Amino acid sequence: MRNKTVKKFLSVTLMATMAVSLLAGCGGKDKDTSSGSDDTKFGWWIYSTDGLGEYYEDYDDNPIAQYVQAQYWDSEKGGIGTEDSGKQLDFSYVVPITGSEQDNFNTMISTGEYPEIVDLAVASDSAQTLYENGIAMDITEYVEKYMPNYLAYLDENPELKPLVQVKEDDGSVHYYAIYALMEGVEAPWQGVCYRRDWVVKYAQPTEYVWDWESDYVKENGHPAVTPLSKAQAENNLEGWKKSDVKAFEANYAANNEIGYEDNVIFPSGTSDPLTISDWEWMFEAFAKALDERGWGEDSNAYCTTVYYQGFLQAGDLVSSFGGGTGQYYIKDGTVCFDGDSDNFKTYLECLNTWYEKGWLDSEFNTRANDPFFKINSAGVQQGKVGLWDGGISDIGTSVRATCQNAEDAQDAFIMGAPLPINDVYGKEAQMYKEPDALYQTSRKGTATIITEKAEGKDLATLFTYLDWTYTFEGAMVMRNGLNEEQYASVKLNPDLYAENDVKTSYVESTDEDGRTVYTRTVDVSDPLVNALIGQRMDVGLKPVQGEDYRVDNGAPAINQAAYAVWTKYLNTGSVLDYTGLMNGDESDAYNKVTTAVMDYQKQYVPGVIKGTMSWEDYVAGVQKLDPDSVTKYLQKYVDLANSAK
């Protein structure tokens, strides 16, 4: 039964005090619109502003926020109408102070001082739980009546339905939130990075490489025996060929941001690292570079590292060893706990080998305060790390400005790499399998709830606007900005377009495949590119690419190459899309077990990697926590998703 009592996380007195301090100066300003009606005024809590707050203090000044509020929304016919057929919306935005987002959200919910619309980017409870606690509305009737485009998209993509709706035991369907939806795999902002210049300078070309034209490799995807040292020891070079490259050369052009010319060929016979043995071949080169620079005893200098707990629960490198995450994992529609599997064991054996050979950061487990994509950022920027998980800003030559070594300051060049395929460790089940669980943007984005504060207001007009964001026109406006015609149709004040001499956010062209290409007119590295869009009102579609179009963000060629390798494999094994679907009781039971398991793994997985704890002892301890007992909660929603396809 729905509980009308709002949860109290802290005392009301303390929360009220915090609410004042956290919300002060956080956005929203009084203004009038021609509608002048209180029933179309809605407050909206958003996670942050676009453009990092550099271009406006109040989110009301965002050009897309202004454009949306200048339109007349026709709830009878849908979409944008006229002054005679529609009504204007009046949004005011509440934006937390940077760094206070989580506290601000919890304070807001705890005190009941929340607006009509709330972004759940940092929520610990699901939309359904917030409904059960009397905070979120059941918006089913409004979705079904005023959001035909949203429903049509779900019908076209039925696998998304269980992720955005709640199906009761009696078969009835409820909507408690609106979700941003991705049209494809978005260009990632992070991934594997490595020092390509060190490969050129310190790696020795192998005598043999994979022969991709051989019948064996064409049929099996790899030579008969790998790695090369094993193939040579067994005198079985089927699928290998003599390499024509005897020495590596490269163009170290100064400020070379758009490309990098070299003749590098990896043992896998490719120009990008493909396998674990490719990585280990690089580590040998990186170790030489570090020794030559006298950094052998520097704890911030190493070949590679791993997240402080020994693995990333999203998967990534873990899934290179037959698939998996080290936590909960989906394979062929079945949810299992992966932290005691043979695949995870093989992953840890590999890392133990790297640790013993001195390739792995010896201090990895002490870097608990570092995000997984910024581990030892000082060492990376000083040019002391060979391979790491980094951001797109690391790609190219940017690190040259901060490298400690003079030669690196001239030549350092960073490229992106895909996750590797294991061709060295474990048994057949762990080898030659593509990674399938990785940190990759989900097609299901942030949830946005309509709170009980909106009851009695003009929800027909509000949901008409929300539905427009699931049209291609609306999606392009929200995520890519105004085109020339749209910009000319509205008077902006302030006008960031005029102030920055931008006449349109994107231009259209046609590629060789006949698809329409939408190319951003503002450089992707310029904060202005995000100040001109409205994606912090995180609803609607996110256009990426489809059969007849693609969005070009204007990134340099070297960045585009990184995007390509970072999306070489798709995330199919992650359970993270399903954890937010559980009801309150399911979520409580699941969180109790998984928290205990994660705490245990953080304490003992590093010991398995460093050889201070046996695999058997680790498994015995983790199984005492009965991690399999909660897979049923996830399986329920995975089954619903599969039945919808």
For 114-127, the pLDDT digits (tens) are 999 999 999 988 89
Task: Please check the confidence at residue 1 and state whether its pLDDT lies above 50.
Answer: no
- Mean pLDDT, rounded, for 351-369: 97
Instruction: Mention every residue, 6+ apart, whose C-beta is less than 8 A from residue 360.
Output: 302, 303, 304, 305, 306, 351, 354, 609
β pairing state of 506-510 and 328-331: unpaired
Per-residue pLDDT at 516 exceeds 90: yes
Averaged pLDDT for residues 527-550: 88
From 261-270, 317-326, 555-564, the region with the lowest mean pLDDT: 555-564
The per-residue pLDDT for 644 is 55
* Domain residue spans of the chain: 12-185+441-511+522-549, 207-242
pLDDT over 90 for what percent of the chain? 71
Average confidence (pLDDT) over 193-210: 97
Q: Please say if the pLDDT value at position 641 is more than 90.
A: no
Rounded mean pLDDT, 465-479? 96
Q: What is the pLDDT of residue 310?
A: 97
pTM of the full predicted structure?
A: 0.76
pLDDT at position 25 is 38
Does residue 7 carry a pLDDT above 70?
A: no
CATH of the domain spanning 12-185+441-511+522-549, picked from 3.30.365.10, 3.20.20.80, 2.40.110.10, 3.40.190.10: 3.40.190.10
CB crowding 296-325: b at 16 or more within 10 Å, else e: eeeeebbbbbbbbbbbbbbbbbbbbbbbbb
Q: Distance of CA 462 to CAs 41, 71, 120, 180, 450, Å? A: 9, 12, 18, 16, 10
Contact 479, 530 (CB under 8 A): no
What was the pLDDT predicted at 158? 86
Residue 30: per-residue pLDDT: 45
pLDDT of residue 255: 54
**Confidence band for 461, pLDDT divided at 50, 70 and 90:** very high
- What pLDDT score was predicted for residue 188? 83
Q: Kindly give, in sequence order, each residue whose CB lies less than 8 Å from that of residue 524, ignoring residues fewer than 6 positions away.
A: 553, 554, 555, 559
Question: Rounded mean pLDDT of 468-476?
Answer: 96
Which tokens is 636 given?
A: 């329920």
Q: What is the pLDDT, as a whole number, of residue 448?
A: 96
Query: Given the structure tokens 């396998």, which residue do they identify?
Result: 275
What 510-518 contacts at long range (C-beta under 8 Å, 24+ apart), as own/partner pairs, is 511/550, 514/548, 515/547, 515/548, 515/549, 515/550, 516/548, 516/549, 516/550, 517/549, 517/550, 517/551, 517/552, 518/476, 518/480, 518/543, 518/549, 518/550, 518/551, 518/552
Say whether pLDDT at 102 is over 50.
yes
| 355-370 mean pLDDT | 97
Q: Where are the alpha helices (DSSP H) in 127-275?
A: 127-132, 140-146, 148-156, 161-164, 196-202, 215-220, 228-233
Query: Is the pLDDT assigned to residue 230 strictly greater than 90?
Result: yes
Average pLDDT, the chain: 89
Among 214-223, 434-443, 468-477, the least confident range: 434-443
User: Cis link prior to 148 (omega < 30° from 0)?
Assistant: no
- Position 11 scores a pLDDT of 34
User: Model confidence over 51-95: pLDDT tens digits?
Assistant: 556 788 889 999 999 999 999 999 999 999 999 999 999 999 999
In this prediction, residue 551 has a pLDDT band, given cuts at 50, 70 and 90, of confident
Tokens standing for residue 213: 């034209």
Residue 541 has pLDDT above 70, yes or no: yes
Q: The tokens of 34 are what?
A: 């021609």
- Per-residue pLDDT band for 523 (boundaries 50, 70, 90) equals confident
